[in-house]
Amino acid sequence: MEFFIQQLTNGLAVGGIYALIALGYTMVYGVMKLINFAHGELFALGAYVGYSLLVTFDLAGALGPAAAIGLTIVMVLGLVGLAGHLLERAAYRPLRHSDRLAAVVSALGASIFLQNAIMLKWGARHRAYGADLLPNVTVHFAGQSYPLIRLLVFLAAVLVMTALYAFIHRTRLGLAIRAAAIDQGAAKLMGIDVRSVIAVVFVIGPALGGLAGLLVGLYYGQIDFSMGQLYGLKAFTAAIIGGIGNIPGAMVGGLLLGLVEALGAAYVSVAWKDALAFVVLIMILVVRPTGLLPERVAEKL
Amino acid sequence: MKKYFMPILVAAAAALLAFSAGSAQAADPVKIGVMAPVTGAWASEGQDMVRVIEILAQEINDAGGVNGAPVVVEVADDGGKPNTAGLAAQKLVSAGVVAVVGTYGSSVTEASQSIYDEAGVLQIATGSTSIRLTEAGYQLFFRTCPRDDEQGRVLAAQVQALGFKRAAIVHDNTSYAKGLADEARAIFKTNGVEEVFFDAITPGDRDFTASLTKIKAAEPDVVVFTGYYPEAALLLRQKRDMNWGAPMIGGDATNNTALVEIAGAEAAAGYYFVSPPALADMPSEAAAKLRAAYQAKHGGQPSSVWSVLAGDAFNVLIKAVEAVGPDASKMGEWLKTELKDYAGLSGPIAFDAQGDRRGEVYRLYRVDAQGAFVLQ
């Protein structure tokens, strides 16, 4: 039982990160019906921006750890959000009225471009956030000990998702986003500026991806320029499992994928955990082709 | 003015021609290929390989070249992937290289072997330790790195010598890590170390807590990890976070200073690995010279030993060209029969009839409390 609970928390910690990245896929898909394949690279960009701020500029030394991490979070959100906006302007907006495949190819191109740009800017070596950046505090709970940072990462993920859900459902801008997700043409007729709605979505989604990158850097301590590939693929899977276009779905999908991986590693085989996770994906899609929480028109996005 | 222009130009051209003919007559440039993972997951290894070889080539050219001919280094990026290795190999073959240094990953080297063999190009791999490579019988294939079976022997012997009884073996399904794990596993069956766990993790993953929790449940007193440093560092760090004190021992792919940067000195302390000695621990004069040159040009030191073995491969190729000229089959013959105890960067170099490096290269290292790699 102790083993099971340990594996459960292992899975939830990984799943929280997947869910956070999956939000970016799902938001963009909800409004634009486009899979933003460059999202994984924006996630990696967040990790590298955080690295520059915390390690190269040594903010923690200048401001103390808490203030430094707070400032880094704000700057990562801002800078990666800006990068997402530029990406939309450069790679997607010119293709708004062309074939959907053109946008997909553009997304793949943007992904390759960003990955190599990161490598050229920061180098090909694995970068380390430094193990002493955060105090190594462990929390004892139900006979187990957990690193505090792991709980914080999970809490941060849940908090961000709740805030995003409230933003979409409680604000006027959120209402406009939902309207654009249902029918862009009708939304335009109702006086909604769909172009700026898309711009907003392309700031929020990448910013959250960047935040996930920063959390991965802080928690695992190691980043590399190709990290966006694996996480991007997993988070994309999570978005599909949950029902792409649906925000609570991204959360459910992410946590579920993390749990399946952890329990698969625990009870079947460590080497087969990824294969197992994708088998689960296929089974879910066979039974529910639109995912666990498919986008219902009224609550789309 | 104009009428003077043509004669001056002609005279200048003639002078230039005469000048270049003087050196061109001595010999055409010797083209040496470098196949390395300049991009991709092993890009830092690949870029170091190229840097080291460029430094060595520069030194040779500054000293007048080989037998009076300049050395030209052609670089091809294999991306660290078997499916791009073929392209890289063909690029070098069509560039007309006589010999190739590289590459790093065993599976990538394997994908390129037959191409070089058919083209009659001599190949010296530098980080590819998988046994199969020299067992395939290619006459022009060599390597300056040792083989997995030697590494496996040393690794298993060290686990026993350090007094461990129950070993958990973890690899990552790459041909290097799987080969090393299989080798160690076979020896554990005979040397009294019990194998309590054997499985693979996924390289590129960041979270190994689920795997570690499972490994811990098997109650090993040592974790033998045969994969690469990024994963080894994360395993060490997450093992520390679990408050699990069992030591870990690994192979040469973890001999990289980034291991300590990622894991932190506290988590990395006490980690053992077997590896050819690092550049800093190499006593040779040539190694000291390379250290200084690398420091001056790129700052710091190569992050691992593999780029130094690439330098060794390049140096013996130059020796072979000096001895028998730029002819791949003669060079191959010369390397197998004539090259005896050449003073390489990493120690004496000689090859056996299969093209494997002779002699024992591996040493045991331990990470101390400050995070330094200490030769045991």
The residue ranges of every structural domain in chain A are: 2-125+141-299
pLDDT at B226: 94
CA angle A46, A49, A50 (to 5 degrees): 85
A130 interfaces chain B, CB cutoff of 8 Å: yes
Whether residues B214 and A14 touch (CB distance < 8 A) is answered with no
Q: Is B61 exposed, middle or buried (0-12, 13-18, 19+ CB in 10 A)?
A: middle
Query: What residues of chain B lie within 8 A of the CB of A7, using their CB?
Result: 210, 213-214
pLDDT at A298: 45
Query: What residues of chain B lie within 8 A of the CB of A124, using their CB?
Result: 39, 43-44, 46-47
Nearest CA in chain A to B229: A126
- Cα gap A284→B87, rounded to integer Å: 40
A119 interfaces chain B, CB cutoff of 8 Å: yes
Query: What residues of chain B lie within 8 A of the CB of A19, using their CB?
Result: none
The residue ranges of every structural domain in chain B are: 25-146+282-349, 149-275
> φ, ψ for residue B159 (rounded to 5)?
-60, -45
Looking at the partner chain, which of B213, B217, B258 has a beta carbon nearest the beta carbon of A125?
A: B258
Share of chain B above pLDDT 90, in %: 59
pLDDT band, residue B23 (cuts 50/70/90): very low
B-contacting residues in A 18-47 (Cβ below 8 Å): none
Query: What residues of chain A lie within 8 A of the CB of B262, using their CB?
Result: 126, 128, 131, 221-222
**What count of CB pairs under 8 Å joins A to B?**
110
Looking at the partner chain, which of A126, A130, A270 has a beta carbon nearest the beta carbon of B199?
A: A270
> pLDDT for A49-79, tens place per residue?
999 998 888 887 788 878 888 899 999 999 9
CA angle A256, A278, A275 (to 5 degrees): 115
pLDDT at B255: 86
Query: What residues of chain B lie within 8 A of the CB of A268, using their CB?
Result: none
- Cα gap B361→A19, rounded to integer Å: 47
Whether residues B233 and A222 touch (CB distance < 8 A) is answered with yes
Instruction: List residues of chain B with CB under 8 Å from any CB of chain A.
Output: 39-41, 43-44, 46-47, 170, 173, 199-202, 204-207, 209-211, 213-215, 217, 229-230, 233-234, 237, 240-243, 258, 261-267, 303
ipTM above 0.90? no
Residue B24 pLDDT > 50, yes or no? no
B-contacting residues in A 135-174 (Cβ below 8 Å): 136, 138, 145, 147, 150
pLDDT at B280: 84
Q: What is the mean pLDDT of residues B247-270?
A: 90
pLDDT < 50 regions, chain A: 297-298, 300-301
Q: Which amino acid would we find at residue A34? A: L
- Considering only CA atoms, give the Rg of chain B: 23
Task: Please give the CATH number for the structural domain made up of B149-275.
Answer: 3.40.50.2300
Optimal mutation site among A113, A222, A257, A259, interface B, most CBs of chain B within 10 A? A222
Q: What is the mean pLDDT of residues B183-193?
A: 91
Class of domain B25-146+282-349 (CATH, top level) = alpha beta
Alpha helices in B192-327 (DSSP H): 209-217, 229-241, 258-263, 265-268, 285-298, 306-324
Task: Please give the CATH number for the structural domain made up of A2-125+141-299.
Answer: 1.10.3470
Share the mean pLDDT of chain B: 88
Q: Does the pTM of the predicted model rise above 0.90?
A: no
Instruction: Please give the structure tokens belonging to residue A283.
Output: 């089974």
> pLDDT for A6-47, tens place per residue?
888 889 989 999 999 999 999 999 888 888 999 999 999 999
Whether residues B241 and A3 touch (CB distance < 8 A) is answered with no
